[in-house]
Structure formats: structure tokens, C-alpha cells
Homo-oligomer: A and B are copies of this chain.
Amino acid sequence: MSKQAKTAITPTREENYPEWYQQVVRAAELAENSDVRGCMVIKPWGCALWENIRTALDGLFKATGHVNAYFPLFIPKSYLEKEAEHVEGFAKECAVVTHHRLEEGPDGGLVPAGELDEPLVVRPTSETIIGATYAKWVQSYRDLPILINQWANVVRWEMRTRLFLRTTEFLWQEGHTVHETKEEAWEETVKMLEVYKQFAEEWMAMPVLTGEKTAGERFPGAVNTLCIEALMQDCKALQAGTSHFLGQNFAQASGIKFQSREGREEIAWTTSWGVSTRLIGAMIMTHADDDGMVMPPRLAPSHVVILPIIRKDADQEKIIQYCNETAAMLRAQSYAGRSVEVVVDDRDINAGEKGWQWIKKGIPLRLEIGPRDMENGAVYAARRDLGPKEKYTQDRMEFVSTIATVLEEMQNNLFEKARAFRAEHTREINSWDEFTAFFKEGCGGFVLAHWDGTEETEQKINDELSVTIRCIPFDYEKSGTGQCVVTGKPSRGRVIFAKNY
């Protein structure tokens, strides 16, 4: 680092938040833009993070009775058209396959050939293609429920993209379930939202609010969309996961019918729910600082990096051996359901630069090990949640035996810090003046305010302040009745407003 720069990331959050975000992603080597419009390359450190997210979520899905399956990438155009609102929502931004080969054109270059009878859409989401399969699987109430999840890539042709937050292709999971009754489907919708909340808070260390979307913000074709909403460090909200109660809309469109216990033919009830690589963007904007990424220990690709400090060639072999021994001891420990993961970084590059690379990657713990540490049976440690220069010497055995405790403490600290930030930027507001000032003059945040329940008012707030209703909390009536912050009309409870991603 040059002397001018006091932080590893330039600009800082305060100087230019969107640019800071891009620089954190770059410096942490999480992902980069590809030459293909809006598609990203997820680099090894980002991919390992996604794999940890996947493993943890998959465990939660299995614990709630779900199994995985895999459905086709392509959706025939006619399938998408089956549900009117759904096609309306996705037709404007989908990759369309029209040909099945390339052949030499008149000027020598290759041109598309073999036109398809019916264009195929690269799945933007899979309700319609999965629904067509479920229609074949379901005959009787005995075939229900179907509780299936899919890990897949999807494509939505976004005009303005940003790494992880909004990309043309992204990775996600999509759960698709079928039920006998409305009540069971609703219970599933709520249960999966709870799973997302649990994952966000316990694994990502990211506090979330939960509730229902307003009609205008629903998934196209859904009866009801539930969501988890988190507050980023620039005081804008980010929708991190959604769980949709689809009623009988998609079952009707796809023909998912069954013979009921009473022998009648009935239309099934379905749900769908998903989270994506966007979660990585959420994690960055919740925890990263002006020195780069900060990984929540439970999901960190590696927990500890060991940096051998070799001042004389004669020490090299012994120090490397001591480092490898330390790594082996740490790997024998376990934390959050896996072995403690350790990198011994013995690359022959400048030690300071090397340390900063790992700070920017957000690894929870760094150990510098030189001749004196070795002689003393010690390690010289640094925690990513403390300042880059706050380091401490610790007995090696003690460091090893307390590693899981320290990691969990760091995990909890990150959660508490994010919770405090959210509390600081959440306010109950009762007047339009105060509402306007909150979003125009300050950095913003979550506002709990009364709303008259109309789309007109929702639209007016959005037009004037670019502020939207993030969700209607499940228990919103507990906040008491009041008057709409815009129109003064009666309101049954407070809803959550914020600017958003």
C-alpha cells in the first residue's frame, strides 16, 4: 500500500459506495465481468463461497423434507405463455434460442441455421417447465406432496448489471412444491421463508425482516410473495430471498390435477421459493469494510491463512514445517459442520502485500509465523474483525484449541454489528415531512410508517422519493392503527419502506 491510501480499497464506502462495491469484489477475487454481456465469471474464491452457501442451504432443505432434481434448461415458448401474468413478467428479458446449428453464410462467416419450429427460452425461472412434468407425476392425493428443489443456472436479460446483485446469468436454487390443500401450500410458503431467515441470520450473519410483498411487487403469477429484506451499509434495502404462494394459478395453467380423498378431481396448490448468487452481493454489502471483504466464518471458503515469515534461507525449512504442523492441527478441529480450513501461503512475494491480499479476501484469521514464534511455540495472529494492525501473540496450542470458539465469536460479532447498524437506521415515522427528510437528507434506512393500502399512494412515494414498500410485516397490525403518512387515510398497521437494490 502506498502511504497516501489509508485503506486497502479505494474509494471508500463513504466516498463512492457503488464503486467501492465493485472494487471489493475485484480485490477479493470473487468474480469479474466476462466478455459476454451481463454474464460474470465466478472466480475460485467466490465459487468456494457459493459452494458453502449451497451446502448449508441444501442441508436445511433436506432437514425440512426436500429432495433435489434437475429439469431442462430450455422452456418451449408455448409453456411460458400458459400463465398470462407470468409471461408478461418474463417475456421482456429472456434469451431466445431460435436455431440449432451454425453453418457457413454467404460471406464465409457462420450464420444460424436449422430454425426451430418453436423457439425455446433459456429458463428465467422454472415454474412452467417443472409444472408440465408434475402434471404427469400427479394422479392422486397419494402422490402429494411433491417437495423438490433444483440447483441451476438461470438467465434474465438485464439491461443494467452489477456483479452478483444483478447479472444476466446467475446461479440459484428454486424449490417447487405441490400440495393437496391451500393450507398445506401456505404452510410450506411460510416454512421456507423461515428457512431463508434462519440461513441469512445464522449463516450469513445478516439480520433480515420478513413479510409479504404488496401486489405490485409480487412474483409474476403468484397469489402472494413473501420475502426476506436486509439493510445494506448504504442504507438501501436488498431483497435476499422470496417464497411464493402460487395458489392454483400455475397448477391450473400446467394441468396439475389429482383425485382427492373424496374421489373428486381437484386442482393442486403449488409454491416456489428461491435464493441466488445475489446472496454474495448481500454478504459483501453487509460485512465488507474499507479494507475489503469480511467473510462470515461459517461460510468462509477458508478460515485461516498461515503466512510463513522467512528472514534467512537457513530458517526456511524449519518454519515451513512448523507452519504445516500448525495447519494439520487446525484441520483436525471442526467448526460449523466442517473441518477448519487452512491455507499455507508460502508464495515467494512481499510479505506485506501477501497479508493485504488476504485481508481483502476477508479470511477470518491470519497467522504470521517467523523464527521467534516458532521458538516460542507461538503464533502471531490477526482477526479480520479487528484493525489490520491489531495483532497478538498466542500460544500455538491455545490458538488451536480455541479456534472454533473464536470463529463463532467472530460470527456472532458480525451479526450483532449488522443488527446494531440496522437498528440505528430504522425509524417509525408519522409525517410526510419527516418521511421526506429521512430519505432526502439522511442516508435513509428502514422506515415503519402507515400506508392507506392503495397502489396510488405506493406509486406516488416511489415517484417522488424512489422509495418502495419492502414488505408488510406478518404482525403489522400489532403496530396499531394510524393514518397514512401520505394521504392521512386510515391504516391498520405500519409497513416497511426503504430505497432498494
Interface positions, chain A 67-82, Cβ under 8 Å from B, are 67-77, 79-81
Q: Are B73 and A102 in contact (CB under 8 A)?
A: no
Contact of A102 with B129 in the complex, beta carbons under 8 Å: no
Q: Which residue of B lies closest to A68 (CB)?
A: B47
- 6 A-B residue pairs with Cβ-Cβ distance under 8 Å, sorted by A, are A34-B129, A44-B68, A48-B67, A80-B102, A91-B101, A114-B157
A42 within 8 A of B: yes
Given A36-B129, A51-B68, A102-B96, CB of A155 within 8 Å of CB of B73: yes
Task: State in angstroms the CA–CA spacing of A113 and B480 once bound together.
Answer: 50
Given that A77-B110, A129-B34, A133-B41 are known contacts, is A70 also in contact with B47, CB under 8 Å in the complex?
Answer: yes
Which of A80, A101, A120 has the most C-beta atoms of chain B within 10 angstroms of its own C-beta?
A101
- A148 at the B interface (CB under 8 A): yes
- A163 CB to nearest chain B CB (Å): 13
Contact status of A122 and B122, CB under 8 A, knowing A67-B44, A93-B101, A102-B77: yes
Smallest CB–CB gap between A113 and chain B, Å? 8
Within 8 A of B (CB), among A36-70: 36, 39-44, 47-48, 50-51, 67-70
Q: Is A171 an interface residue (CB 8 A)?
A: yes
* Closest CB in chain B relative to A157 CB, distance in Å: 4
Known: A35-B79, A80-B102, A94-B100. 12 other contacts (CB 8 A): A35-B76, A35-B132, A43-B69, A44-B67, A47-B69, A48-B68, A74-B169, A77-B102, A87-B102, A93-B100, A96-B99, A153-B153
Instruction: Tell me, yes or no, whether A103 is within 8 Å of chain B by CB.
Output: yes
| Bitwise interface map of A from 143 to 158 toward B, beta carbon under 8 Å scored 1, else 0 | 0000010001101010
A43 proximity list for chain B (CB < 8 A): 69
- Please state if A70 and B171 are interface contacts (CB–CB under 8 Å): yes
Residues of chain B contacted by A68 (CB below 8 angstroms): 44, 47-48, 51
Knowing A39-B73, A72-B34, the reply to whether A110 touches B81 (Cβ < 8 A) is yes
Judge whether A311 is part of the interface by a CB distance below 8 angstroms: no
Q: A110 contacts B98, CB within 8 Å?
A: no
A-side residues, CB < 8 A to B, are 32, 34-36, 39-44, 47-48, 50-51, 67-77, 79-81, 87, 91-103, 109-112, 114, 119-122, 129, 132-133, 148, 152-153, 155, 157, 169, 171
Contact A39 B74 (CB under 8 A): yes
Once the chains bind, are B94 and A95 in contact (CB under 8 Å)? no
Q: Please, how many angstroms separate the alpha-carbon atoms of A132 and B119 in the complex?
A: 29
B residues less than 8 Å from A80 (CB atoms): 102, 110
Contact A39 B94 (CB under 8 A): no
User: What is the CA–CA distance of A100 and B70 in the complex, to the nearest angstrom?
Assistant: 24
| Chain B residue with the shortest CB-CB distance to A67 | B44
Docked CA distance A99–B94 (Å):
8
How far apart are the CA atoms of A81 and B92 in the complex, in Å? 30
With both beta carbons as reference points, the residue of chain B lying nearest to A73 in the complex is identified as: B169
Minimum-distance CB pairs A-B, first 9: A39-B72, A42-B70, A44-B67, A96-B99, A91-B102, A100-B157, A96-B112, A36-B72, A95-B97
Whether the Cβ atoms of B98 and A102 lie closer than 8 Å is no
Decide: A109 and B94 in contact? CB cutoff 8 A: no
Q: A72-B36, A72-B41, A133-B41 are in contact. Are A97 and B96 (CB under 8 A)?
A: yes
Most chain B beta carbons < 10 A, residue from A81, A99, A148:
A99
Question: In whole angstroms, what is the CA distance A97 to B67 when docked?
Answer: 32
A87 and B73 form a contact (CB under 8 A): no
Name the residue of chain B whose CB is nearest to the CB of A93.
B101
Q: Which of B32, B74, B81, B112 contacts A36 (CB 8 A)?
A: B74
In the complex the two chains form, is B74's CB within 8 Å of A95's CB? yes
Contact (A41, B71) CB under 8 Å given A36-B129, A76-B36: yes
